[in-house]
Amino acid sequence: MKPERRRQRIYDGDGDRLMEEKKHSSVDRIIVLPDTPPSRHVDPRPRLRIMWGQNLLEDLLSGRYRSLVCAVNAKDNSRGIITQLGTLLKTSQWEESDITKLAQQFSNNSSDRVKILKYDMDLVEVFALLRPPQRDKLQLEDLAVGFKIVGEMISRRPDRQPSASVSFLGARSNLLVDSTGNEPSFETVLRIMYESGYTGDVYPPPDLWRSAPTAVYARYPFPPSLENMRQGGF
């Protein structure tokens, strides 16, 4: 008989036992599922990577990305990641007042289309979606048009990769809504990004870090098995 294979350990010492799920039922938890089994045949299709549990601002400051996609508005960006990034990057000269002033300049026209504003912060180039001035919320159609433009801008310039994007969920000043006036699902946002041509990394909102017991995938498009289950299959 073959000897029983021991389970590979994740942590040193007693870490695996101490990190068992039942001991951490009251804290933020994420259950990540593999979307494909190990194989020698690699699928060449680009996918969105979903960065569960990662800190976007820290990753930007450490130089992991050359571009960032987020939202901006013409009133107040003091709590947005674009202002945090501009303040913390030593070589950036963008302050909240300058960020908002630029948005105001583009918001003063009568266009009913979303605008993409570029903020060069030296280490990171920020592509900020500015909603049409007549709307107080960002809509799904704005997201689709914006990411169509952003996807082309990034694909044409290799120096703008790798790229990261916020999820546009859980925002306050730049709230994203669907046709019913409610926030869309994370899957809807991912689908719009992907179908618009964007294939960078996406950072979920921290509220979704408490998704357990709902399991999540680390890439999009999701595997066909999910749709099979939605249709009543297994």
pLDDT for residue 42 = 76
Give yes or no for a contact between 35 and 220, defined as CB atoms under 8 angstroms apart: no
The domain limits of the chain are 46-230
> Which of 120, 133, 53 shows the shortest CA–CA distance to 89?
120
| Token pair in block for residue 109 | 């026209």
Whole-prediction pTM: 0.90
> Which of 198, 175, 151 shows the shortest CA–CA distance to 48?
198
Helices (H) and strands (E) in the chain, counts: 7, 11
- For residue 116, what are the β-bridge partners? 129
| Token pair in block for residue 81 | 């990641």
- For residue 118, what are the β-bridge partners? 127
Q: How far apart are CA 148 and CA 141, in angstroms?
A: 11
pLDDT along the chain (234 residues), means of 10: 68 78 70 81 86 96 97 94 96 95 86 93 97 93 97 95 97 92 96 96 94 92 85 69
Alpha helices by DSSP H, listed for the chain, are 15-18, 56-61, 81-88, 96-107, 140-155, 186-195, 224-230
Q: Which CATH superfamily is domain 46-230 in?
A: Leucine Aminopeptidase, subunit E, domain 1 (3.40.220.10)
**H or E segment at 82?**
helix 81-88
